Chains A and B, each alone.
Chain A
Amino acid sequence: MTSSTFETRSDLWQRIKSSLVYHSFTHNRTAMASAAVLLIFMLAAVTAPLIAPYDPWDQTQFDIMDSEIPPVGSEGADDRFVLGTDAMGRDMLSTMLYGTGISIAIGIFATILQCLIGVSIGLVAGYFGGRLDSFLMRFADIQLSFTTLMVAIIIIAVFQATAGLKFYNDFAIIVIVLVIGIAEWPQYARTVRACVLAEKKKEYVDAARVIGLKPMTIVYRHILPNTFSPLLVISTVQAANAIITEAALSFLGLGMPITKPSLGSLIRNGFEFIFSGSWWITAFPALILIVLILAINLLGDWLRDVLNPKLYDK
């Protein structure tokens, strides 16, 4: 049994190695660099509790007397804090390691949620067509006419007002993931629907129908795998957008609380001090955020070029 699993695994590796995507990846420096950056950020975020010098979520570990210490290399720096401290006296490096983790986690989970909702609705709308299709797509249009940022601001404001700020602060991550996840499903639904409409006409679907498979089996086992490449491409864009939306919300004070800051809340926190010259509280998280989003977007661009471009160009 072990030998057979080993064989299939090496078969899979062989298939990956001989694939166009792998070839293109290894010959594209931008793609490799972006993937490396992403990998490093993810690793740093996952191992943050181990590698961070301090625990920024633990109030006993920082002191207001240490506030606004500049990073090493500038005047008044302190060796204990390599990248300086913020206005609450927290070590910037530790806070950013934890914050990057929050931003990435929200990006990933919000995208997964969008994908689950959007793909299910898109498959149903595309395969069954008719009234159901036009109803679902009209609904998607209406949802899209409200931008995600605005929907998120309102829902979070209502949530904060009804459930109380303390309760919100405890469950902020879940609320943000739910809001961004639910607000952006039409993007997936539209893409999947367009793919299904194209795939439905093909002979393999007719063949599956003729041998008597149930519609749901055809949709999930036969059509869904063929929508995979456009889904992958929009997933990169959606993940980048989810991270940007979360950062924007936190910047407006409607996202992650300052006790458990994401990159966006750190930037908001530092913005007040930018006029007094404490640039590092804003600049470091901003830089990390931009590099993170840029890496995801560059990877998405590369994927778009490699995978069949005709399906999702419009």
Chain B
Amino acid sequence: MFAFLVRRLGQAVIVMLVISILSFSIQDELGDPLRELVGQSVSEAVRNELREEMGLNDPFLVQYWRFLRNAVQGDLGTSYFFKRPALEVIMDKLPATIDLVVAATFWILAFSIPVGVFAAIRPNHLFSKLAMGFSIVGISVPVFLTAIFLIYLFAVELGWLPSYGRGDTLIMFGDWETSLMTIDGLTHLLLPSISLASVILPLFVRIIRSEMMEVLESEYVKFAWAKGLKKRRIWMLHAFKNTLLPVITVGGVQLGIMVSYTILTETVFQWPGMGFMFLEAINRVDTPLIVAYLIVVGLIFVITNTVVDIIYGLVNPTVKLTGQQ
């Protein structure tokens, strides 16, 4: 177990290093930090002096090493636009994105499991066929179109729900702002979270259904039927429990996809989260903020993937945890 953990964590560290190198090399390509700092009115000689002083003429590896040392201490540079530490800007925006992801995950779990399981148990039922039909339509509609459609229907035509912003927020645990605790916040959250869930939910329905159908065909489930066990017990305890394994793996990957889709959802709904901020940073060529976003999102991906792998290793007895091949 210990060897497995060490190996998996070592791998996570290597991936983070690769991500940091890639992000850092973007910094070299995008914009000139000196111009952002002093403007264009400074003479060439002063410029070169400053350049030398800031270490911008150092070799790539020296600069990268400095960047890495600062990054590990939580210093990811200062945003050109906000004139504040980039990490601080991101931490301000993070709660809004987490609200969105939590709400979308709620929709996904609340609907995909019952619908997927039902569609597997009763594949010929009308409801199952409808659900499968809807799921392929759901996969085929891009996130931003679902978002636009929801805005048009519920905000423009019917006028029931707000189309942009976060609404009232409540401050919890120190300075963590959340929309999940106020009625106004929840009404603002409804449309963005549904559109974020709209692509991943149908995918989960399909995965749960196909995995569960496969398990239902297996020998031990047939044996359980032969033993005369109760339907409910076979479905839930024997079959469903074993469909969860592949679902966990896919879930880890999908969380990453969901974070990148927040860029689209937040842009359509002008949701003041990380994704919206990232796109604005791209448009303003706010390089330190872009790099900081990449590092933070990369870290989120790496942590979730590592946690998913470790959970998978713990739950699945066929994975060797001793580190031997």
Contacts and interface: CB of A to CB of B under 8 A. Distances in A.
Interface of A: 138, 141-142, 144-147, 149-150, 153-154, 157-158, 161-162, 240, 244, 247-248, 251-254, 267, 271, 274-275, 279, 282, 286, 289-290, 293-294, 297-298, 301, 313-314
Contact of A162 (B29, B246, B256, B282): B29
Contacts of B18: 142
A271 B264 contact: no
A31 B193 CA distance: 33
A145 B301 contact: yes
A150 B260 CA distance: 6
Contacts of A146: 19, 298, 301
20 contacts: A142-B18, A144-B253, A146-B298, A147-B260, A150-B294, A153-B278, A154-B26, A154-B282, A158-B26, A158-B29, A161-B29, A162-B29, A240-B140, A252-B279, A267-B144, A271-B148, A279-B152, A297-B140, A301-B136, A314-B246
A153 B142 contact: no
Nearest to B294: A154
Contact of B305 (A145, A279, A289): A145
B151 A161 contact: no
Contacts of B142: 244, 247-248, 251, 289-290, 293
Interface in B296-311: 297-298, 301-302, 305
A244 B160 CA distance: 29
Interface in B233-259: 246, 253, 256-257, 259
Contacts of A294: 136-137, 140
B285 interface: yes
Contacts of A267: 144-145, 148
A297 B139 contact: yes
A274 B253 contact: no
B156 interface: yes
Interface of B: 11, 15, 18-19, 26, 29-31, 136-137, 139-145, 148-149, 151-152, 156, 210, 214, 246, 253, 256-257, 259-261, 263-264, 267-268, 278-279, 282-283, 285, 290, 294, 297-298, 301-302, 305
A313 B253 CA distance: 17
A57 to B, nearest CB: 24
Q: Which 9 A-B pairs have the closest CB atoms?
A: A147-B260, A294-B140, A293-B140, A157-B282, A150-B260, A149-B260, A145-B301, A244-B142, A158-B29
A297 B135 CA distance: 11
A153 B262 CA distance: 13
A124 B142 CA distance: 35
Contacts of B283: 253
Contact of B263 (A141, A144, A149, A286): A149
Contact of B264 (A161, A248, A289): A248
A154 B290 contact: yes
A275 B156 CA distance: 7
A248 B143 contact: yes
A54 to B, nearest CB: 26
A162 B261 CA distance: 26
Contacts of A282: 148
A161 B140 contact: no
A202 B104 CA distance: 46
B258 to A, nearest CB: 9
A314 B214 CA distance: 11
A227 to B, nearest CB: 21
Nearest to A271: B148
B277 to A, nearest CB: 13
A276 B247 CA distance: 43
A313 B259 CA distance: 25
A298 B31 contact: no
A251 B264 contact: yes
A106 to B, nearest CB: 14
Nearest to A293: B140
A248 B141 CA distance: 11
A290 B285 contact: no
A158 B31 CA distance: 9
B296 to A, nearest CB: 12
A297 to B, nearest CB: 5
B140 A147 contact: no
Contacts of A271: 148, 268
Contact of A248 (B15, B144, B298, B301): B144
A145 B267 CA distance: 22
A313 B210 contact: yes
Given A145-B15, A158-B30, A150 B263 contact: yes
Contacts of A293: 140-142
A286 B136 contact: no
